[in-house]
Amino acid sequence: MKKLLAVFLILSLSLCLFAEGLQEVLDRDEESIDLKSLSIASPSGAPGLALASLAVENPEQYRYLNAETITAEFANATADFIIAPLNAGAKLYKMGKSTYKLAAVVAWGNLFFASQRKDFSLEDINDASITLFGENTINSSIALFVLRENGIVPKNVSYLAGAANTQQLMLSDPEAIVLTAEPALTAARNRKPDIKGYSVNELYRNATGNEGFAQAGLFVKAELAEKSPRTVDAYLEKVASSCQLCRNDIDLVAKTAAKLEILPNEKIAKSALPNCTIYYMNAKDARPQIERTAEVDMKQFGGALPEEDFYYESR
């Protein structure tokens, strides 16, 4: 009798588990995928290139942000997806000011040391005055890190607000050595062809072995990820394809970026695109490189490495 009762209980439990699993499958199958209902927020400029081929097809879905509004965008949680500096998204999540999880890294560094000095070389930075942009940001932290790790020691370091500011200084002062970024570097070279730039990514590779640092991420609203995982995964597939075009069809993406006014014009976009280092890597696979980036300046990530629940994983 006891054996029969045990068998009955095991069968009942198995049926319950089967029913639950079947219901989960049915729930997933019932989820309708409607990518056109999604709303996406992104900076213009280099990070916006990752989504350019998608935005041109459905421009009403996409809004473009400036740096001052990114924190509010995370807090308001109106967009389904946000492209933003990866460290900002991680820091806000850790502070409880964001419910967005990281879905992928899409931009891996577009920084350059540049000058119109004659025969400018990296050795010129030794014992010289340089001007960076973005004091107390991950960009300036990475710039100082790669100099230090490559044995380059500037005499003085000063700061301006953004890459456009350091671009103007470089154009107006023939002796200035600055940190700038694409597409500002290409735009400056159109005016002063003698400007020479050195990739921060190359110096970062020398220091870490990685091709670039985790600069900008694609974040997904946690509520959407929980309720509509198939929709999220379907959109991520499209983002991955869009990023691939930034390497495989530069002419097309350049035309698209100019049409959307993400970059100033098609000529600048075509020249700048290869230096913007746009490629897609899902959050789980990118985690080691994210953590290596965070170790450069942990306070930019909220004082600690992102926890497991920060990373979205496709189902």
Task: Based on the fold, state whether residues 218 and 82 are members of the same structural domain.
Answer: yes
Which residues, in sequence order, are CB contacts of 75 under 8 Å at separation 6+? 92, 97, 98
Position 271 scores a pLDDT of 95
Task: Based on the fold, state whether residues 103 and 218 are members of the same structural domain.
Answer: yes
Task: Based on the fold, state whether residues 123 and 272 are members of the same structural domain.
Answer: no
Position 40 scores a pLDDT of 98
pLDDT tens digits in sequence order for the chain, 315 residues long: 444 444 444 445 444 444 454 445 444 455 678 899 999 999 988 999 999 999 999 999 999 998 889 999 999 999 999 999 999 999 999 999 999 999 999 999 999 999 999 999 999 999 999 999 999 999 999 999 999 999 999 999 999 999 999 999 999 999 999 999 999 999 999 999 999 999 999 999 999 999 999 999 999 999 999 999 999 999 999 999 999 999 999 999 999 999 999 998 999 999 999 999 999 999 999 999 999 999 999 999 999 999 999 999 987
Position 27 scores a pLDDT of 47
Q: Are 221 and 313 in contact (CB under 8 A)?
A: no
Task: Based on the fold, state whether residues 104 and 116 are members of the same structural domain.
Answer: no
Task: Based on the fold, state whether residues 179 and 104 are members of the same structural domain.
Answer: no
Asked if the structure places residue 71 within a domain, the reply is yes
Position 31 scores a pLDDT of 60
Asked if the structure places residue 308 within a domain, the reply is no
Of 183, 208, 233, the position where a domain reaches its end is 208
Task: Based on the fold, state whether residues 163 and 220 are members of the same structural domain.
Answer: no
Position 232 scores a pLDDT of 98
Which residues, in sequence order, are CB contacts of 152 under 8 Å at separation 6+? 122, 123, 125, 126
Task: Based on the fold, state whether residues 151 and 286 are members of the same structural domain.
Answer: no
Task: Based on the fold, state whether residues 194 and 241 are members of the same structural domain.
Answer: no
Asked if the structure places residue 225 within a domain, the reply is yes
Determine how β-strand 129-133 pairs with β-strand 156-160: parallel
Position 60 scores a pLDDT of 95
Task: Based on the fold, state whether residues 136 and 255 are members of the same structural domain.
Answer: no
Asked if the structure places residue 174 within a domain, the reply is yes
CA 30 to each of CA 26, 237, 311, 312, 314: distance values in angstroms, whole numbers, following the listed order: 6, 20, 25, 22, 18
The H or E element that residue 171 is part of is helix 163-172
Q: Residue 63 phi/psi, 5° resolution? A: -120, 145
Asked if the structure places residue 169 within a domain, the reply is yes
CB-count burial class (<10 Å; 0-12, 13-18, 19+) for 312: buried
Task: Based on the fold, state whether residues 98 and 224 are members of the same structural domain.
Answer: yes
Of 179, 208, 237, the position where a domain reaches its end is 208
For residue 57, the domain's CATH number is 3.40.190.10
Of 171, 191, 208, the position where a domain reaches its end is 208
Asked if the structure places residue 60 within a domain, the reply is yes
Task: Based on the fold, state whether residues 148 and 277 are members of the same structural domain.
Answer: no
Task: Based on the fold, state whether residues 245 and 277 are members of the same structural domain.
Answer: yes
Q: Are 64 and 43 in contact (CB under 8 A)?
A: yes
Give residue 195's domain range: 111-208
- What is the count of structural domains for the chain? 2
Position 314 scores a pLDDT of 86
Asked if the structure places residue 153 within a domain, the reply is yes
Asked if the structure places residue 189 within a domain, the reply is yes
Position 67 scores a pLDDT of 82
